[in-house]
Amino acid sequence: MLMFLGRFTRSPVNRVRPTVLPRGGAGPAFQSAAAGPAHPCPCQQGELYFAAQLCVVPASEHNVSSHTRVTHFILRGFSDVPQLRLVVIPFFLLVYTFGLLGNSSIIIAVMRDSRLHSPMYFFLKNLSFLDMSYTSATIPKAVLISFTGSGVISYLECVAQLYIFLTLGCTECFLLTAMAYDRFLAILRPLLYGTIMSQKCCVELVVTAWVGGAIYSAFHTFNTFSLPYCGPNVVEHFFCDIPPVMRLSCTDYRLHEEVGFAVSSCIVMSSFALTVLSYVGIVSTVVRIPSVDGRWKAFSTCSSHLTTVVLFYGTGSFMYLRPASRYSAIQGRLASVFYSVLTPSLNPVVYCLRNKDMKFALQKLYCGRKS
């Protein structure tokens, strides 16, 4: 989606043979046979790009706007240091495999154990599915490009990856809010809990989370890729994400950035505020329980969810609630590792360590333990 403002005619111009320019090299001037003077490439220097897609020169005196597209992006991968990739690739494969096994085990255990057929575990089952999909949207591709050394990803594939990733991330955000509401009702309204949190209500909350995530993601994907991309196509990340992609636009992206920031702040922070309000109600109720054992038992049902909320919002806000112009490649990758890789993969551990019912269900699943 590259836009060049210049002087063009409807008469044909000489085609330039595709040339890959190395990092650090200056862009050459391409000269049309119909026009005498040479015109330097308008793109930034010192980046890898496809020259044939970048520079178009005027052929005569008529004014015609021309739009060209970057057809591919280049992902950096986990690290720019080849020696470090030998350590990083096995680590992420191990974490990814661990996350898949852990989350799939939770799903199977909840489906098989009748004692876990409750709203809390229904939401946990959906969260585990989201976490599996969340990591699968980025890690396999990132491992592949780091292993092969070729980070080329097509334009449409980059669009699809960003859309899927944002859909899953925002859906998890809404689902965490629904889970906080579930714990709120279980502690504040225990007598009405079964009536309010019926199976129909649980399904409606999950469907709403998915629909909301899809709409939110569609907006941000359009907001990002409606910008023209004409020059450097190197994404300083291991997957297509908003800040590193938006920085590659060859026009001023501040308006798109501000609109995206405003929408993110309203929607995501509203969801976070509802989660916080739920926990305010939970804490205010728990502290009024007379016995220490009763307070501890009530709070233990929320501790796993609270840990996940802190990790998810803490690392995610560091990445998205700041301007793309202040994006740092190293900090961006590190934050993304936490909220898109480690947190989803460690959620099974967080939810099983202090949950006796879940630990028993997993023992029954893998060890054949009888109830």
User: What does the pLDDT look like over 36-45, one tens digit per residue?
Assistant: 333 344 344 3
d(CA 173, CA 216): 11
Predicted local distance difference test score (pLDDT) of residue 115: 86
pLDDT at 332: 72
Query: How many C-beta neighbours within 10 Å does residue 123 have?
Result: 24
Residue 288 pLDDT: 85
Query: Which residues in the chain come in under a pLDDT of 50?
Result: 1-66, 371
Give the contacts of 245 (CB within 8 A, at least 6 positions apart): 73, 158, 162, 224, 225, 235
pLDDT value of position 99: 92
Q: Which residues, 6+ apart, have CB-to-CB distance to 75 below 8 Å? A: 141, 142, 145, 151, 152, 153, 235, 237, 238, 239, 240
pLDDT of residue 370: 55
Residue partners of 148: CB distance under 8 A and separation at least 6: none
Q: What pLDDT is recorded for position 250?
A: 87
Closest CA to 321 of 248, 267, 273: 267
The residue assigned the tokens 């992206």 is 253
Q: What is the pLDDT of residue 363?
A: 84
CA neighbor of 131 nearest in space, from 362, 354, 367, 351 = 351
